[in-house]
Chains A and B, each alone.
Chain A
Amino acid sequence: MLRTIVQAGVVTVLNLRSIGQRLGASAASALGVAGVVAVFVAVLSIGEGFRATMVATGAPDAAVVFRGGTDTEMNSVLGLEQTRIIADAAGVRRGAEGPLASAELFVVVDVAKRSSGTVANVPLRGVQPAALAVHDRVRVVEGRKFETGRNEIIVGVGAAQQFRGLNLGARLRWGENEWTVVGIFESGGTIAESELWCDAGVLQPAYRRGASFQSVHVRLDSPDAFSRFKDALTSDPRLDVRVIRESEYWEEQSRMLRAVIRNLGGLVAMLMGIGAVFGALNTMYSAVAARTREIATLRALGFGGTAVVASVLVESLLLALVGGTLGGSIAFLLFNGYQTSTMNWQSFSQVAFAFRVTPALMVQGIGYSILMGLLGGMFPAIRAARLPIATALREL
């Protein structure tokens, strides 16, 4: 056993020293793997960034309520009376100025994208005074908060960056109403940063919603108070609502886009992986072919088949590993933190987010490269070990 390991080590070192003589083919194979891993990581970083934005949004002790049978805020309708019952329900945390509950309206308005100048659906959320306590990560970083009863808007930093004309003091016109941007807010990378916020009381008449709302966002006494809160609402005969944790809600809202990216990215990465394995196979087969006599000589000297197999495999794995690390790094340098925005079809509105190359993604990418190296090295390695020594020695 020890003998085999020592032999394998010796042959491997021999092989690796000779890579210099086959630099072209080896580099091509490593580059092939690098390309695959770079793409794999880059595409998945889109989904990862999107998910991070959506998931960061949910606080563990926050819940959202909308009409029963509805899957997004956009489609929901709640009457004023219902929103009051929800705010007063058991489990809702109470602050100095009453329950931490904000009944909200969610509409989309047309704003031009900065990158292309084309019009996009930007979410405009009407909130109640308690909103800043409910969404406690929201902080106005420039300007001031909007005043109740006035056509004033505060803009999330993501929206301000991605869309045109959302600067402090800008006047915006949608339909018959004119709005003034009075503040820019941050919320620690959550989806709120893609939105525009205003007073719900002003938004209702502007969109002819009467006294109705679409959702109620609440903070609970504790994360465990959720079931108490949910039971209180679902057993109330005056209500017909769906109660969901905020974190689950946003996870649900990102499902469709993530599925699209995962399926497309997975398919492309798989096809490319197959292509790269063929490339690696070619490289390793020619490496083995070039050393036929060498290998046969080693075998004649008493080196075992296992040692030869191991040496070829190690070389292939090392090449793949170099490629995988390179590819992952390229993806990280090019795409990590890349700011963009896209349409979330589920909420029919834009979400601003940044690509994220996470350590887990890097590990996955490098794992994928190891798999490619293994597949690409295995068959040539077996062939090398099986060469009949006498004929191989005679070969030129």
Chain B
Amino acid sequence: MRYLHLILRNLLRKKVRTVFTLLSILVAFILFGYLAAIKMAFRMGVDLTGADRLVVIHKVSLIQPLPLSYQGRIEAIEGVRDVAHASWFGGVYQEPSNFFPQMAVEPERYLRLYPEFLLPEEQKKAWLQDRTGAVVGRQTASRFGWKVGDRIPIQGTIFRKQDGGTTWEFTIDGIYDGKEKGTDTTQFLFHYDYFDESRQFWRGAVGWYIVRVADPDAAARIAAKIDAAFANSSAETKTSTEKAFAQSFANQVGNIGAIIQAIVLAVFFTLMLVAGNTMAQAVRERTGELAVLKTLGFSDAKVMGLVLAESLILAGLGGGLGLALAWWMTSLGDPTRGFLPIFYMPGKDLLLGAALVVGLGFVAGALPALRAMRLTIVDALRRG
């Protein structure tokens, strides 16, 4: 602490350079935060899936429906604790670019399967009693400024009503929050009963089933049992863990996500390199002064400590602010306005970022300082 003043004076010697170095470190770590969030987004929530949940889809393709009658039969399979179904609605609110997922579900069952959707008890009650009611996740609700009680018209692009109408109107009965940071709060859920009675075709069919198993370790065995139960029927099934299901979507996107990540990563390191170089430059310029300090009786370790403290302060200030800003900016939602429902910076990346900040400060200060240490005082003085 005794030398804090000296360190600060050194930092402020070239204010402009210090400020710009600080700012470029800051920008680098904002970018790092976005990199982490983009990575999460392209993983499609694989890390957030429930280990005890399975997804049952039509064997040929997810777009083929399954009979509603499968629900009871799946429930009867040993090891299955709970079953719910969901059907993709694929409607449009105002215009196609306002995309968010809409699903027809059996409310109680669905909410039982997804305990991470937190819906206030009285809103849940209201929804259960309102046939044309819907609940919507926080992210979608705030995106369109919806409140409980609002009437929301949605154009059915796949499904029409029996009277030929394409507009389906729903009342928002509730808004759910996510239990965890990455929980998908973009979904729009409404009553399957109402949907099935009103649509023109595919009545009595559902999109897919979600199954909770009693023992996650037995998931593979139970999945095989479910598929065996419907083998050789007109609608064979393909059952996988929720994780594998999410993974298959992430795989579909392919290497585009990986390429974007690689690019951003390269940029991050370039920015770190440039900032580190400037910091190192600032130390190199002072080789002569370091020699003077040593002449005055400062030990090698002490001089080293002074230099390191300086670069650590600079890196810590820039990097810390950058990480904080990144944390805040990514929490505002994804830059594509709703196309990447899971977009946030995970806590472990914050830790990794902090470690990188320290590493940057250490390397940028230590390398030139070490070199200065190795010089004899006389040589160093002559140079400076």
Q: Could you tell me which A residues sit within 8 Å of B by CB distance?
A: 25, 28, 31-32, 35-36, 39, 42-43, 46, 68-72, 74-75, 77, 107-110, 113, 115-116, 118-121, 174-175, 207, 240, 252, 255-256, 259-260, 263-268, 271-272, 274-275, 278-279, 281-282, 285-286, 289, 340-343, 345-346, 348, 350
Contact = CB atoms under 8 A, between A and B. Distances in A.
A35 B266 contact: yes
B61 A272 contact: no
B271 A272 contact: yes
Contacts of A342: 252-254, 256
Contacts of A46: 256, 259-260
Nearest to B33: A271
Contact of B24 (A42, A174, A279): A279
B84 to A, nearest CB: 23
Interface secondary structure of B, over-half rule? helix
Interface in B140-171: 155-158, 160, 164, 166
B166 to A, nearest CB: 4
B30 interface: yes
Given A263-B335, A264-B38, A266-B335, 11 more contacts: A32-B274, A46-B256, A46-B259, A69-B155, A110-B60, A121-B61, A121-B252, A255-B97, A268-B31, A275-B267, A342-B253
A260 B263 contact: no
Nearest to B27: A275
- Range, interface on chain B: 35 or more
Given A275-B31, A348-B63, A268 B267 contact: yes
A274 B61 contact: no
B253 A343 contact: yes
A361 B263 CA distance: 17
Interface string B7-49: 0000000101100110110011011001000100000000000
B61 A109 contact: yes
B256 A267 contact: no
B264 interface: yes
Contact of A113 (B34, B61, B251): B251
A218 B355 CA distance: 61
Contacts of A116: 251, 254-255
B343 to A, nearest CB: 10
Contacts of A340: 254-256, 259
B17 A282 contact: yes
Contacts of B14: 289
Contacts of B337: 263
B107 to A, nearest CB: 25
The 9 closest A-B pairs by CB, nearest first: A118-B251, A278-B24, A275-B27, A343-B252, A175-B60, A75-B158, A69-B166, A263-B336, A35-B270
A318 B24 CA distance: 22
B143 to A, nearest CB: 15
A260 B340 contact: yes
B281 interface: yes
14 contacts: A69-B160, A70-B158, A107-B61, A110-B60, A115-B255, A116-B251, A174-B60, A207-B60, A256-B99, A263-B336, A271-B34, A281-B20, A282-B278, A345-B339
Interface string B122-143: 0000000000000000000000
Given A113-B251, A275-B27, A282-B21, A264 B60 contact: no
Interface in B234-254: 236, 247-249, 251-254
B326 to A, nearest CB: 10
Nearest to A46: B256
Contacts, number: 161
B51 interface: no
B165 to A, nearest CB: 10
A207 B31 CA distance: 47
A274 B27 contact: yes
Given A39-B263, A39-B267, A115 B254 contact: yes
Listed residue (A31, A35, A341) with the most chain B CB atoms within 10 angstroms of its CB: A35
A268 B264 contact: yes
B145 to A, nearest CB: 21
A331 to B, nearest CB: 10
B214 interface: no
B27 A278 contact: yes
Contacts of B99: 256, 345
A255 B337 CA distance: 13
A272 B335 contact: no
A120 B281 contact: no
A319 to B, nearest CB: 13
B29 to A, nearest CB: 10
Interface in B245-296: 247-249, 251-256, 259-260, 263-264, 266-267, 270-271, 274-275, 277-278, 281
B331 interface: no
Contacts of A175: 59-60, 236
B94 to A, nearest CB: 13
Contacts of A118: 247-248, 251-252
Contacts of B158: 70, 75
B90 interface: yes
Contacts of A32: 270-271, 274
A108 B58 CA distance: 12
Contacts of B96: 71, 252, 255, 346
A342 B249 CA distance: 11
* Chain B CB within 10 Å, residue with most, of A107, A264, A289, A340: A264
Nearest to A113: B254
A279 B274 contact: yes
Interface string B301-339: 000000000000000000000000000000000011101
A69 B336 contact: no
Interface in B341-383: none
